[in-house]
Amino acid sequence: MISRAIEDTELNEHIASLPHDGREVFLIADKSVRVSVVSATRMVNQMRANHGTGLIETYVLGQGYIAGALLSSTVKGNDRIRLDIECGGPIGGMSIEAWASGAVRGYLRHNPIPLEKPIESLDTSLLYGPGFLTVTKILEGSRSPFSGQIMLEHGNLANDLAVYFQESEQTPSLFYLSIRFDRKGRVWGAGGLFIQALPGCKDEVLDRLQAASSSFADLGKALSEGISASEYAENEFRAFSPEHIAHIPTGFSCPCSRDHFEGYLKALPKNEKEAILNGNFPLVLECFNCATAYSFSKEETENLFREDL
């Protein structure tokens, strides 16, 4: 992956003033509930720079990246998790992949999102429309991935993820995805919250958390003001005796490389290689997940195909 430069000097200075992105994990309420808090201002801004997204695309895909970073708290080691949405609305869908190590990548199926008229709010329900949400865990050493799927009910990623965990994993959960824009439409703060009941959690604890969630401080705003994810969790869950158990750096990262695309080209059938050589150059291949473009001259391509032609 090649990270594209964020050209806005003021934005760069603001990002540099903030704590580093990361996922903070806590146990609360006598270790009966797990809370993951993600700070993701750098990640969402780098995603925007690479994918060249407008404001609404940044909001939708940024929420997907934050959700991926939160979902990766449910896997470990070299495991990864994928969030896929297929829908009939203008978004078309998205695909997000996140590793337990904190790396996140992914893309919108329609960028830019085709809109008949400018939207007047950040209500995403009409943008999604009917569709499906699928969560897949790819576990190291497992012969096949584990997948669960629900129909979209809300057209709101946080609410639909909560439905997924309730229906597919029978786990009461709450998601909060927050992106704060400044007056110029720049991402000034971004983060998310994932509250997950553990086995044995009492209903009264869930009721207290549900009541408390209505008065949570705006996470994106708090992060934009330099409050860390740990500080946010300690403040908002003080009544539940939070115990910090893990810190994992998070960021936009993709394992694609020029070597990977060279291998892809070499593995093409002979007729496709011939068609490529008869086409236009340079040959440019782009990674969907990070929008990195790899360019190959005709001479380079001929050298790659030399053994088969």
Q: Is 226 helix (H, G, I), strand (E, B) or coil?
A: coil
Angle between helices 41-51 and 9-17 (to 10 degrees): 150
- pLDDT at position 121 is 86
DSSP letters of 19-80?
PPPEEEEEEETTTTEEEEEEE-HHHHHHHHHHHT--HHHHHHHHHHHHHHHHHGGG--TT-E
CATH 3.40.50.20 fits 9-252, yes or no: no
Report domain extents, the chain.
9-252, 258-305
How far apart, in whole angstroms, are the C-alpha atoms of residue 125 and residue 158?
12
User: Same CATH topology for 9-252 and 258-305?
Assistant: no
Q: CATH code for 258-305?
A: 3.90.1280.10
β-partners of residue 239 are none
Alpha carbon dihedral 131, 132, 133, 138, in 10-degree steps, equals: -140
Its pTM stands at: 0.96
DSSP state of 183: T
- pLDDT per residue of the chain (309 residues) written in tens, 0 to 9: 999 999 999 999 999 999 999 999 999 999 999 999 999 999 999 999 999 999 999 999 999 999 999 999 999 999 999 999 999 999 999 999 999 999 999 999 999 999 988 888 889 998 999 999 999 999 988 888 999 999 999 999 999 999 999 999 999 999 999 999 999 999 999 999 999 999 999 999 999 999 999 999 999 999 999 999 999 999 999 999 999 999 999 999 999 999 999 999 999 999 999 999 999 999 999 999 999 999 999 999 999 998 665
> Of the candidates 115, 119, 47, 73, which has an alpha carbon nearest to the alpha carbon of residue 233?
73
At CA 208, angle to CA 202 and CA 213, rounded to 5? Answer: 125
